Each structure stands twice: as structure tokens, then as C-alpha cells.
Chain A
Amino acid sequence: MRTIFTKEMKLNIKSLLIWSLAVGGLGLICVLMYRSMEGDVKEMADAFSNMGAFSDAFGMSTLSIATLKGFFATEVGTVHGLGSGMFAALIAIGILSKEEEGHTGEFLFSLPVSRTKVIAAKGLSVLIALIVFTVICGVLYLIGVKMLGETIPGDEFMRFMASQFLMNLEVASICFAISSLSGKNRIGLGIGTAMVLYFYDVVGRVVPDLKDYLFFGPYSYANASEIFSGAEADAKALAVGVIVIFAGIAGAFWQYNRRDLAG
């Protein structure tokens, strides 16, 4: 199992570094832009905070984007939320199906290792990739803050990164389950899943009737504006998130163990 895990990590390392540096780098640039935009943003902050539902949707009614905390929550919150969600989907959606898609399944499964161990090794590689991704991005954001000579509340920053990581796990576990269904690599479906979940949250915050159902989506508990404005985490949303993560993983084990493998 360790050999399969190591091989998966080696095969994914390039993609992991590219995505970590791209998303983390973009977030870093956003942070650095704060200084140059500071003056203009102050003028816009009042206007942005009075745009009703749209201000609520993007957290600008509770946080001022004229402060680094507010700027970070709206800008980096969006970049990291979307970028990390897409990375989580991308890395998980093909992790099982690529063996059949690439016709390597017959080689791998003719070796003395059970499907359960293969799923576990591959699932673990996704988990580790998401941890490394989160750490690299987090470090890059903190470097940006440090370069500005500013500070950002440590507790809220850690809560933001942890909740984003949990959201990534939820997206990945949904895609992991999809990956177990067939031997086709469905990258489009994976990216689409992440996008739908993101926009479900955005639309849910704009449309009043949908607000009560936001907790179904993983982006509800990972909302940067709520976290940085000190709002309590929605226990219902977290509970749904944990259930979806376990259901996705269990579903992948169950389905992959019972179906025929394509040649």
C-alpha cells in the first residue's frame, strides 16, 4: 500500500506544485495589491457595503474592504475558495478512474493488493495533497501580509484555512465517489461540481428564500467574510460536511469493490 501511495504522490507532485503556487501566488498578489489600492478602496468601501443582497453575498456588509482583514476576506477568500475547490475536484475525480482510462488497471490489479488497499492508498494521496496545498497557500498568504508590514488575526486566519481545507475535503470526497463509478475520467464533471457548489453558495446568499438551505453546500461554513467578521460556525453546515465526506469515501470503497474493472 505504501508503494502505491508513494507512486501516486510522485505522479501528482507536478500538478500539486503548479496548483499550489498558482492559487497561493494569486492570493499573494491580491494581498500585495492591498497597499496600492488602499486609497481607492476606502472610497469604494462605503458604496460596496450598501449594495443590499450583493454586499451580503460577498461579505462586504459585515467587513470593510478598506481594512486588510476585509480585503483579505473578500479577495483572497474568493480566489482560494474557487481555486482550492477546483484543485480538490481535479485531483480526486480521476484518482481511481484513471487506471481504467489509461488501461493501467490490469497491471495494477494483477499485483497482490486488494482493491480496498488501492482505494485507501489513493485516498490518502489525495488527503496529503490537499494538506500540502493548504499549507503552501497559507504560507504564501502570510508572506504577503508580512511583506506589507501588517498583521492579520491569527485565530481567524487559521479558522479560515481549516474551514477551506474541510470544504476541499468535501468536494474531493464527492469527486472521489464519482471516480469510483466508472472507468472514464470525468474532469469536466469534477470542475463542474466545484463550480456548482460555489455558485450555489453565492446565489444562496443573494436570494433570500435560499438562505435557509445554504448549509447543504460546503462553501457555507468556509465563507471568509463570516469567519473574519467573527461569526460562529454553522454547526448544521459542518455536520452536513462531515456526513458528506464520510459518505463519499464509504461510497467509493463500496462501489469500487463491487464492480467490474474495465480492461
Chain B
Amino acid sequence: MANVIEIRNLTKSYGKNRGVIDVSLDVKEGDIFGFIGPNGAGKSTTIRSMLGFLKFNTGSIKILGMDSVKDHEKILENVGYMPSEAWFYGSMKVTDVIKYAADVRGLDCTGEAEKICERLKVNRDKRIKELSLGNRKKVSIVCAMQHRPKLFIFDEPTSGLDPLVQRSFFELINEYVDAGATCLLSTHVLSEVNKYCRSAAIMREGRLTMLDTPNIDDDTFLSFYEDEEEA
């Protein structure tokens, strides 16, 4: 299997503050990759560097075989990203936001968007400012999935979602991955890692460690967080 994500010696600092240090990571095609670690460990910094939001200091990132800096736009054509906090333009209607995302991509995603909206029970007539966090997250999922990308990047996707929608969300991911997509899932929920991920890594204090297996018990999982607090 080819590497869909290939990070080499990534270092990103914010002035004197640590971001991530010398991170190297491979994610294989068809994987659902669990990305875990305490708050502030560097998960979002890694993801934001991959997507070009942050200008990293040293290292290299290749996504789908393309350089994350030089081929930035081309990469994003094939990526569906859902941020941890789903914010959109408050005055716009849900249906307009979904169409806007497709239009910027230059695609007609009407069919796929309708399918996902139905599965997640998205009310498309409401304005964004009328939505709760959970409902905004559902819109974010639609925007990330409607163009059927080759790579999904989800940053804490299920916080705020009710259990039924969470189940539908993972069913959708499994369907897309079975059809050839790859998924990077940043989460704090152990059950999601155990149940859905095929490989995993943990970030602590800006450094990344690959886990032998994503099937870990509660105590091991919590120890990652406890170690951080003690440090």
C-alpha cells in the first residue's frame, strides 16, 4: 500500500513556544488512522501544517504523493477536512454553505450532499447562526465528504454529535474507506480508536510515537494523559 500521508522530521514552533518536534509519520492508503494525545500535544499543529494553515520551520510533508507547500491547491482538491470547531458564515443558510463549498471546488456535488444530509438528518433550510455546535458539525461533515475525497482529516469530529449521528458518521467513513479513501482521525475517545482505527499514534509534548496496535485498554490510554500531567 502506498503512503497517503508522509511526514518527515516536521518541526513547528510558535516563537519560543513548542509546537511539534521532529515528527515523522506515514499513513497508508485505505487506513483509518487514530491520532491521539492530550490537549496541546501537537495534534492540531500537525494537521494544520499538513493543510497549509501553518508555515512549518523544518521538515517535509507529502500528501497523496504531492508536496504540501508546492502542490497545496491540488492536495486540497482531494482532501476533506473537518475542524474541531465547525464555524461557517452565520448569515448563510446551510444549503448555501454546502453549495458554496462545492462551487469553490468547481464541482456539482448535489447528489452526494443530499445522500449525506439524509443520513445525518441535516436541516438545510436553517441559517448557520441558528444551529447548535452538533448541527454545525453535521454541516461540516457534509462539506468534508460531498466531493468524495481520497483523504479525510477529522479533528475531534464526534464531540457534540448525538450517538445515532456518531454511528451514521462512522458508517459513512467505513463506506468511503472501503471505496478506496483514507482517514486520519484525531480524537480523545478511546472507543473510537479501538472500534474503527486500523493503526494509531500518540502525540505527547510535541513528539509522536507510533502505537503497536490501536486496540489499547483504558489504563494504557489514560496513562498517556497522566504522564503529560505529571510532566
A→B interface (CB under 8 Å):
3-4, 7, 11, 102-107, 109-114, 258-261, 263
Please give, as numbers and ranges, the residues of chain A lying within 8 Å of B75 by CB-CB distance: 112
Q: Which of B78-111 contact A (CB under 8 A)?
A: 79, 81, 83, 85-91, 100-101, 103-105
Q: Evaluate contact between A263 and B55: CB separation under 8 angstroms.
A: no
B76 at the interface (CB under 8 A from A): yes
A109 touches which of B51, B90, B91, B103 (Cβ 8 Å): B51
B44 at the interface (CB under 8 A from A): yes
Q: Evaluate contact between A111 and B101: CB separation under 8 angstroms.
A: yes
Min CB distance B141 to A, Å, is: 12
* Cα–Cα distance between A263 and B51 once the two chains are bound (Å): 12
9 examples of A-B residue contacts, CB within 8 angstroms: A7-B100, A11-B89, A11-B91, A102-B89, A103-B85, A104-B87, A104-B88, A112-B73, A258-B55
Please give, as numbers and ranges, the residues of chain A lying within 8 Å of B14 by CB-CB distance: 260
Min CB distance B153 to A, Å, is: 8
Q: Evaluate contact between B54 and A106: CB separation under 8 angstroms.
A: no
Min CB distance A30 to B, Å, is: 33
Q: Evaluate contact between A261 and B104: CB separation under 8 angstroms.
A: no
B→A interface (CB under 8 Å):
14, 44, 48, 51-55, 72-77, 79, 81, 83, 85-91, 100-101, 103-105, 140, 143
Q: Which interface residue of A7, A11, A106, A263 has the most chain B CB atoms within 10 A?
A: A106
* Cα–Cα distance between A106 and B89 once the two chains are bound (Å): 12
Q: Evaluate contact between B91 and A105: CB separation under 8 angstroms.
A: no
Given contacts A3-B100, A11-B91, A110-B81, contact A105 B53 (CB under 8 A): yes
Q: Evaluate contact between A114 and B100: CB separation under 8 angstroms.
A: no
Please give, as numbers and ranges, the residues of chain A lying within 8 Å of B143 by CB-CB distance: 107
Q: Evaluate contact between A112 and B52: CB separation under 8 angstroms.
A: no
Q: Which interface residue of B88, B91, B104, B105 has the most chain A CB atoms within 10 A?
A: B104
Min CB distance B222 to A, Å, is: 26
Seed contacts A107-B101, A111-B104, A258-B55; 13 additional CB < 8 Å A-B pairs: A11-B91, A102-B87, A103-B87, A105-B53, A106-B83, A107-B143, A110-B81, A112-B77, A112-B104, A113-B104, A114-B72, A260-B55, A263-B44
Min CB distance A173 to B, Å, is: 24
Nearest to A117 among chain B residues (CB) is B73
Please give, as numbers and ranges, the residues of chain B lying within 8 Å of A258 by CB-CB distance: 55
Min CB distance A46 to B, Å, is: 54
Q: Evaluate contact between B87 and A261: CB separation under 8 angstroms.
A: no
Q: Which interface residue of A105, A112, A263 has the most chain B CB atoms within 10 A?
A: A112
Q: Evaluate contact between A3 and B103: CB separation under 8 angstroms.
A: yes
Please give, as numbers and ranges, the residues of chain A lying within 8 Å of B76 by CB-CB distance: 110-113
Q: Evaluate contact between A106 and B73: CB separation under 8 angstroms.
A: no
Q: Evaluate contact between B53 and A106: CB separation under 8 angstroms.
A: yes
Please give, as numbers and ranges, the residues of chain B lying within 8 Å of A106 by CB-CB distance: 53, 81, 83, 85, 87
Q: Evaluate contact between B72 and A104: CB separation under 8 angstroms.
A: no
* Cα–Cα distance between A84 and B90 once the two chains are bound (Å): 27
Please give, as numbers and ranges, the residues of chain B lying within 8 Å of A103 by CB-CB distance: 85, 87
Nearest to A14 among chain B residues (CB) is B91
The 9 A-B residue pairs whose C-beta atoms are closest, nearest first, are: A103-B87, A112-B76, A110-B81, A106-B83, A112-B77, A3-B103, A111-B104, A261-B53, A260-B54
Given contacts A11-B91, A110-B79, contact A260 B104 (CB under 8 A): no
Please give, as numbers and ranges, the residues of chain B lying within 8 Å of A113 by CB-CB distance: 73, 76, 104
* Cα–Cα distance between A110 and B48 once the two chains are bound (Å): 10
Q: Evaluate contact between A111 and B105: CB separation under 8 angstroms.
A: yes
Min CB distance A260 to B, Å, is: 5
Nearest to B86 among chain A residues (CB) is A107
Please give, as numbers and ranges, the residues of chain B lying within 8 Å of A111 by CB-CB distance: 76, 101, 104-105
* Cα–Cα distance between A25 and B59 once the two chains are bound (Å): 58
* Cα–Cα distance between A260 and B14 once the two chains are bound (Å): 9
* Cα–Cα distance between A114 and B52 once the two chains are bound (Å): 10
Q: Evaluate contact between B83 and A107: CB separation under 8 angstroms.
A: yes
B105 touches which of A7, A11, A112, A261 (Cβ 8 Å): A112
